[in-house]
Amino acid sequence: MSLQGKSFKLSNGNTIPAIGYGVGTKWFKFGQNQIDDKVVEAVQLAIETGAPHIDGAEIYNTNKEIGQALAKSGVKREDIFITDKYFAGDGSYKARSEEVNPYEALKADLKQFNIDYVDLYLIHAPFIKKETHGFDLVEAWQYLEKLVDDGFAKNIGVSNFTKEDLEVILNSKPKYKPAVNQIEYNAYLQNQTPGIVEFSKSNDILVSAYSPLGPLLKGKPGPIDEYVEKLASKYGKTESQILLRSVLQNGILPITTSSKKERIQASLEIFDFELTQDEVNEINKLGKQKTLRQYWTNEYSKYD
């Protein structure tokens, strides 16, 4: 779980590149099945710029584009870490994966990617019930365990899980524990749900942060602005690099994205400087003065 150079070590001993390039959010194309060349170009640009870790999901409908970009880049499969997610649906328990279960869903996704395995497979959200899905959360997890045993996923984890959701899996005596919990995280949302970061860490579950640049993009003006600007000029880095680095130094893996080469490059250049512990603490302290939540608001805004 600790940061070692440009990777985190997971509880199972495997490593994961410590910065991810997301192919959701601005690239999301649900319900539109033609290949989007812009997405292929963006992911190819990211891979060729050196992005080591691509974050996809069934619901983004961009897995074909990721596969094409990987093939075009000429980078070897084993040199790129690919994450995918099972679409569990949202808190309405209505929308859900087109496939019958997570095992079949990943096998269908692998065809889209045109690869044999993913490096990390996540349950996108915890909203799974026997009545709506035909299996419960523990059984969903067991499908993921079988994917590991059959060689289709190297690591398995969850996303948007609360402490209680994690407890359901941990208390079921799983064969494999979740390696990762991917949640919304930045200085203005230091716990997507109560106590989740500390609980995940204390159970050796690596926290991964989506929307790490929220304060820069959606949070201005805000209480960390001036301090982050000051750190950017002290270290000769951009504000976005300061935000990504502070996420890393909180022991959390940031997943960001960009259509622009210089920003992709900048997101990879966050391993050659270090904020002091006081500086990280100050960002965290100032950040607590504001809340910014962009995703899963129907489910989790009640905590704001």
Ligand X SMILES: NC(=O)C1=CN([C@@H]2O[C@H](COP(=O)(O)OP(=O)(O)OC[C@H]3O[C@@H](n4cnc5c(N)ncnc54)[C@H](OP(=O)(O)O)[C@@H]3O)[C@@H](O)[C@H]2O)C=CC1
Task: Name residues contacting ligand ISN, limited to 283-302 (CB under 6 A).
Answer: 295
* CB 19, min distance to ligand X, A: 10
**Near ligand ISN by CB under 6 A: residue from 28, 117, 235, 271:** 28
Residue 217 to residue 212: CA distance in whole angstroms: 10
Where on the chain is the footprint of ligand X (CB under 6 A)?
A: 22-26, 55, 124, 159-160, 182, 210-214, 216-217, 238, 240, 255-260, 263, 295
* CB 60, min distance to ligand ISN, A: 6
Please indicate whether residue 93 is annotated as part of the active site.
no
* CB 303, min distance to ligand X, A: 16
**Near ligand ISN by CB under 6 A: residue from 11, 14, 15, 25:** 25
Select 142 or 257, whichever has its Cβ closest to ligand X.
Answer: 257
* CB 154, min distance to ligand X, A: 18
Site map 32..61 versus ligand ISN, x via CB under 6 A:
-------------------------x----
Write down how long the chain is: 304
Task: Name residues contacting ligand ISN, limited to 101-130 (CB under 6 A).
Answer: none
Select 103 or 127, whichever has its Cβ closest to ligand X.
Answer: 127
Nearest to 286 by CA among 197, 222, 194, 202: 222
Question: Judging by DSSP bridges, how do beta strands 118-123 and 53-55 pair with one another?
Answer: unpaired
- Binding residue numbers: 124
| Catalytic residue positions, numbered | 60
Query: Residues interacting with ligand ISN, by CB under 6 A?
Result: 24-25, 28, 57, 295
